[in-house]
Chain A
Amino acid sequence: MKSVVIAGYARSPFAFAGKGELVKVRPDDLLARVVAALVERTGVNPQDIEDVVVGCAFPEGEQGMNVARTVSFLAKLPQTAAATTVNRYCGSSMQAIHQAAGAIQMGAGEVFVCGGIESMSRVPIMGYNPILHPGLRKEYPDAYCSMGMTAENVATRYGIPRAEQEALAAASHAKAAAAQAEGRFSEEMVAIPLPNGGAAERDGCVRPGTTAETLAGLKPAFLADGSVTAGTSSPLTDGAAAVLVATEEYAKANGLPILARIRSIAVAGCAPEVMGLGPIPAAQKALKRAGLSIQDIGVVELNEAFAAQAIACIRDLGIREETLNLDGGAIALGHPLGATGARITGKAAALLKREGQQFALATQCIGGGQGIATILEAV
């Protein structure tokens, strides 16, 4: 096995879809800025880039046309760097990293740009032309279970009271607000020029001062008598993220800023109506492949699609609170579907270094009933 490392991580600010700062920014432009900054910050020789692998959950419209190639052109990468767009819904850009790591293991390249993008303002969730399989919907309606309902199902199955969900959401905002106040995002952040002449420089979804009490006043968002609210769900978000994936050998030879080594990866399927449980089998597989237990993991980036599913994963995986989402999770920061995987993997790698820990886990759930996980280790 080759040693594959994360040698750089950058992202755009995340902003509310429809009303945030990035509404008027095209997703390809958004990611191109991040990729260009990543290349510049890491000092990688662009001529060495084998492939640009971009995850996107709804790759159509401005995210269509193999957006990875568009991004490469816009980021002024050399023509010799290839480009591919991958889709595993919310797991798309973690899949991009896995794909690069797999290619490296096959000897099919030494350095890859792996990114993710989603403008939920400009390409709606479910896309412009949602046309389902009518027979499948009839025979197996859970195949199309809405995301909100999967969270309700998990809350019911695991007996997760609303107050517990709200406590997690409030904690997520508190951690993100503290990180923001202390400038802990500055290293990963790439300022995005705006059409009006300004620039987006800060995350827009964090609401400092959010408490469990303020969240308690919200109405259920998906089920009339349910427990999941907008406040305990990740918001619709615009954002982009990218990491540099390389062989350790190449990274060291070229003086790249190594953050972490990829120790193991996994994906797993689960029932679509409880898709939020996907991280449980995925993380368990990845841990097993790494020969580790959850007790060994000092940094966890668990995507908070919904507080309910995050809590279920925390319970079943035995994640320790002090390791979890140290700078806040998706409920506070936002969840631009295709970009989240690159964010949490890059973030886990950066945190591993910052916190001086040995192992990190990045994992997330995926619509349709899947999970994806990556285990990182210090170099």
Chain B
Amino acid sequence: MDIKRAAVIGAGVMGSGIAAHIANAGIPVVLLDIVPKDAEDRSVVARTAIQKMLKTDPAPFMHPKNAKLVTPGNLEDDLGLLADVDWIIEAIVENPAVKADLYRRIDPVRKAGSVVSSNTSTIPLAHLTEGQSEAFKRDFLITHFFNPPRYMRLLELVTSDATRPDAAAAIADFCDRALGKGVVRCKDTPGFIANRIGTLWIQAAINAAVDLGLTVEEADAVAGRPMGIPKTGVFGLVDLVGLDLMPHIAKSMLATLPEGDAYRATFREHPVITRMIAEGYTGRKGKGGFYRMNKEGGKRVKEAIDLTTGQYRPSDKPRLDSVQTAGKDLRALAEFPDRTGKYARTVLAQTLAYAASLVPEIADDIVAVDEAMRLGYAWKHGPFELIDRLGTDWFAELCRGEGIPVPALVEQAAGRPFYRVEGGRLQHLTTAGEYADVVRPDGVLLLADVKRASRPVFKNASAAIWDIGDGVLCFEFTSKMNALDDQIMAAYGKAMGLIGDGPNGDKGGAWKALVIHNEADNFSVGANLGLAMFAINIALWPQIEEMVDAGQRTYRALKYAPFPVVAAPSGMALGGGCEILLHSDHVQAHAETYMGLVEVGVGLIPGWGGCTEMLVRYAANPKLPKGPMPPVAQAFETISLAKVAKSAAEAKDLLYLRASDGITMNRDRLLADAKARALELAANYTPPEKPSYVLPGPGGRAALELFLEGFRLQGKATPHDMVVCSALAEILTGGDADHTEPVGEDKLLGLERKAFMELIRTPGSIDRIEHMLTTGKPLRN
């Protein structure tokens, strides 16, 4: 079955967020909620929720136009709309009686064979379907999204014996491909996987901080990045979720967890926290949480709560010997002989032992548990991967030392790791104590798997080239932060030498297409600024010019190469990282790709052909009026304001992506989609023709400078903005071009180089680069 239309019942934060994300997949969705007493607009709840989402940051919609796919309605007048939908998601209050009543109302009106799922996070499936029709039971399952639904990749899927396997398969497939979720099959147990483990982890981390006398900053410094957990740590996370939610979750867990569950012993109320909730200090949505930004007296001072006194005090960034010494060595952190090391030991022992004790109770294998924690709580490593980092034997010892029973799975591992690579394949330890391959869903191709199974075709300090099969090479950035440098340019050269002629130089060789892709959080945030600053400091101007020139030559060579180049970005693709995408034959972008030419932020202009490529795109845009100025003015606006698209869909608006470029919702499917597109293009490939440009020349530049002057007078453009944007205006208008004589791209590339080299020598631009390197933020000088 195909999901062509959907409905969400309950327009709260989760329900409306789920509806928005279904709309992001291009699927029309009905959003229903109750009719408030005496409401003039009977669908006001759903309608307001949609309006509110258009103003929410981070945005639930990938593009504002998606809001039009969400039809607001109410549960009294619009139940009939459910007759047309293939999937109904219930996301109402966590009350079994209210849910049961709703199910009885929707069952008779829904389409035969449509699927109904609940977004419950606490109520067992068996309880939810009690007393419902047999057909309802067959069509029912739990789909548990995480907040915010667009951004959190985990989807926990729970079925019962009664659930039709094809219904579950259809929903799983839709959530995977259309919504981009990592679908993890869970057993019907309280809190499923992620919240079951996450709840205990949070409780254990708070308890230990109080018991060991750590400040919230110290606790988060240990339990955050060093453990591969987002830097918010535990206290920062609770601030985000809401302190007031914690007692509800605890209550629900305590009501449903089995006797003897470790959470029961871990659960503890802390008077300071109870008082904070009572007084409205419920986190970011309230008056403040464990942290708050105190804006009294006009200044913004970050403060943290003292866990003993319950009073706020200025927050500090602790420098902990344990964290400094251990670096990336998790075991060294846990072995560190002070209270912060003890903190790490306690939290790791309790959390990981609990997780290890729950397989197979909550999931069939450890892979599901690790996946759930990675995608649902943004842990870099799942619990079993963390145990591997500590060593299973060492961990068993730790448990004993902490007085925690060693989980059966850990005992059974008997010193073996939970994961190993055998014959190039990733394997995991099963509950039977044997190793089995980690199986990827059909159509998923991970570079990590390729890397485990093979050696790179080529590798240098900043890039690697991998054979991903069927004649396609994958170009991976490996530099720090995927910053672009001369090594990457050299590796591109190498790749171009490999493709077409084969590895041995024989014609009709092994490779016929190139995919540019990596699995880091961010595709690339641009050129290596540190390196540029170093060169500036010792006035290596010729070398800088050569770097600009080499980048232009390389990107041109890729663009006009006799084989297709497909780029597959995810996360940020900024500056030079954006420019490489602009030069690719096709971009297969992950839906969460954030593209932008942000060079003006560091006092520069896109010098690797970014200006030139944007002009081509705007000139070819049929939506713009005719004449030499409209493409120039649009490119000027996009680049001078350093616009960054907040999704791949938005990148299409800005023409960073072309209409023909593809968007993949599930990041795990990105490489496979890109490879397939590369092979399609390779079948009958001809390189693009060189464009020519009709540009307005100095008269157009004068017009752009007039606009700039207006911004300066309004106080919106700084003095150095004027310098940088004037240089940009000169490039985009074609220097001394005359619109009766079209110019070629070589002239524009020359203008880019000239402007870049002039700007990089100006004190204003150097200040901007230095400021960015030291603070990570643009300088407004």
Q: Which residue of A61, A131, A137 is within 8 Å of B628 (Cβ)?
A: A131
Inter-chain contact B714/A129, CB cutoff 8 Å: no
Q: Which residue of A lies closest to B633 (CB)?
A: A130
Interface residues on B, range: 20 to 34
Best-buried of A133, A137, A226 by chain B (most CB within 10 Å): A137
Given contacts A137-B705, A144-B706, A146-B706, contact A131 B714 (CB under 8 A): no
Give the distance to chain B from A329, nearest Cβ to Cβ, in Å.
25
Q: Which residue of A lies closest to B705 (CB)?
A: A137
Q: Which residue of B lies closest to A224 (CB)?
A: B715
Q: Which residue of A128, A129, A130, A224 is within 8 Å of B713 (Cβ)?
A: A224
Inter-chain contact B630/A129, CB cutoff 8 Å: yes
Q: Kindly state the separation between the CA atoms of A132 and B703 in the bound complex, as whole angstroms.
A: 6
Contact with B along A229-270 (1 / 0, CB 8 A): 000000000000000000000000000000000000000000
Q: Please indicate the chain B residues that have their CB under 8 angstroms from the CB of A132 in the complex.
A: 699, 702-703, 706
Inter-chain contact B701/A134, CB cutoff 8 Å: yes
Q: Kindly state the separation between the CA atoms of A221 and B711 in the bound complex, as whole angstroms.
A: 10
Q: Kindly state the separation between the CA atoms of A239 and B709 in the bound complex, as whole angstroms.
A: 29
Inter-chain contact B703/A131, CB cutoff 8 Å: yes
Q: Kindly state the separation between the CA atoms of A85 and B629 in the bound complex, as whole angstroms.
A: 24
Inter-chain contact A149/B713, CB cutoff 8 Å: yes
Q: Kindly state the separation between the CA atoms of A148 and B711 in the bound complex, as whole angstroms.
A: 12
Contact with A along B511-553 (1 / 0, CB 8 A): 0000000000000000000000000000000000000000000
- Check: B687 CB closer than 8 A to any chain A CB: no
- Check: A106 CB closer than 8 A to any chain B CB: no
Q: Kindly state the separation between the CA atoms of A223 and B699 in the bound complex, as whole angstroms.
A: 25
Q: Kindly state the separation between the CA atoms of A132 and B709 in the bound complex, as whole angstroms.
A: 14
Inter-chain contact B696/A131, CB cutoff 8 Å: yes
- Check: A1 CB closer than 8 A to any chain B CB: no
Scan residues 108-157 of chain A and give those whose CB is less than 8 A from a CB of chain B.
126, 128-134, 137-138, 144, 146, 148-149
Inter-chain contact A129/B627, CB cutoff 8 Å: yes
- Check: B700 CB closer than 8 A to any chain A CB: yes
Q: Which residue of A lies closest to B628 (CB)?
A: A129
- Check: A222 CB closer than 8 A to any chain B CB: yes
Contact with A along B703-731 (1 / 0, CB 8 A): 10110011001110000000000000000
Give the distance to chain B from A247, nearest Cβ to Cβ, in Å.
42
Q: Kindly state the separation between the CA atoms of A168 and B627 in the bound complex, as whole angstroms.
A: 41
Contact with B along A25-52 (1 / 0, CB 8 A): 0000000000000000000000000000
Inter-chain contact B629/A130, CB cutoff 8 Å: yes
Q: Kindly state the separation between the CA atoms of A111 and B334 in the bound complex, as whole angstroms.
A: 97
Q: Kindly state the separation between the CA atoms of A61 and B626 in the bound complex, as whole angstroms.
A: 9
Q: Kindly state the separation between the CA atoms of A61 and B630 in the bound complex, as whole angstroms.
A: 13
Contact with A along B684-705 (1 / 0, CB 8 A): 0000000000001011111101
Q: Please indicate the chain B residues that have their CB under 8 angstroms from the CB of A130 in the complex.
A: 629, 700, 703, 706
Inter-chain contact A222/B629, CB cutoff 8 Å: no
Inter-chain contact B700/A131, CB cutoff 8 Å: yes
Q: Kindly state the separation between the CA atoms of A61 and B714 in the bound complex, as whole angstroms.
A: 30
Contact with A along B162-174 (1 / 0, CB 8 A): 0000000000000
Inter-chain contact B713/A222, CB cutoff 8 Å: yes
Inter-chain contact B703/A126, CB cutoff 8 Å: yes
Q: Kindly state the separation between the CA atoms of A132 and B701 in the bound complex, as whole angstroms.
A: 8
Inter-chain contact A221/B629, CB cutoff 8 Å: no
- Check: B508 CB closer than 8 A to any chain A CB: no
Given contacts A129-B630, A224-B715, contact A148 B710 (CB under 8 A): yes
Q: Please indicate the chain A residues that have their CB under 8 angstroms from the CB of B699 in the complex.
A: 131-134
Q: Which residue of B lies closest to A226 (CB)?
A: B713
Q: Please indicate the chain A residues that have their CB under 8 angstroms from the CB of B715 in the complex.
A: 223-225
Scan residues 193-222 of chain A and give those whose CB is less than 8 A from a CB of chain B.
220-222
Q: Which residue of A lies closest to B715 (CB)?
A: A224
Q: Please indicate the chain B residues that have their CB under 8 angstroms from the CB of A144 in the complex.
A: 702, 706
Q: Which residue of B lies closest to A126 (CB)?
A: B703
Q: Please indicate the chain A residues that have their CB under 8 angstroms from the CB of B630 in the complex.
A: 128-129
Give the distance to chain B from A115, nearest Cβ to Cβ, in Å.
24
Give the distance to chain A from B718, nearest Cβ to Cβ, in Å.
11
Give the distance to chain A from B742, nearest Cβ to Cβ, in Å.
16
Q: Kindly state the separation between the CA atoms of A57 and B153 in the bound complex, as whole angstroms.
A: 54
Contact with A along B614-645 (1 / 0, CB 8 A): 00000000000111111000000000000000
Q: Please indicate the chain B residues that have their CB under 8 angstroms from the CB of A224 in the complex.
A: 713-715
Q: Which residue of A61, A131, A133, A146 is within 8 Å of B629 (Cβ)?
A: A131
Q: Kindly state the separation between the CA atoms of A145 and B709 in the bound complex, as whole angstroms.
A: 10
Q: Please indicate the chain A residues that have their CB under 8 angstroms from the CB of B713 in the complex.
A: 146, 149, 222-224, 226
Q: Which residue of A lies closest to B706 (CB)?
A: A144
Give the distance to chain A from B712, nearest Cβ to Cβ, in Å.
9
Q: Which residue of B lies closest to A149 (CB)?
A: B713
Give the distance to chain A from B732, nearest Cβ to Cβ, in Å.
13
Q: Kindly state the separation between the CA atoms of A133 and B702 in the bound complex, as whole angstroms.
A: 7
Q: Kindly state the separation between the CA atoms of A272 and B627 in the bound complex, as whole angstroms.
A: 27
Give the distance to chain A from B695, nearest Cβ to Cβ, in Å.
11
Q: Please indicate the chain B residues that have their CB under 8 angstroms from the CB of A226 in the complex.
A: 713
Best-buried of B696, B705, B713 by chain A (most CB within 10 Å): B713
6 smallest CB-CB distances across A and B, nearest first, come from A224-B715, A131-B699, A129-B627, A134-B698, A132-B702, A128-B625
Question: Could you list 18 examples of A-B contacts with CB < 8 Å?
Answer: A61-B625, A128-B625, A128-B629, A129-B627, A129-B628, A129-B630, A130-B629, A130-B700, A131-B629, A133-B699, A134-B698, A144-B702, A149-B713, A221-B714, A222-B713, A222-B714, A223-B715, A225-B715
- 17 new A-B contacts, CB < 8 A, other than A131-B702, A132-B703, are A126-B703, A128-B626, A128-B629, A128-B630, A129-B627, A129-B696, A130-B700, A131-B628, A131-B696, A132-B699, A146-B709, A146-B713, A149-B710, A221-B714, A222-B714, A223-B713, A225-B715
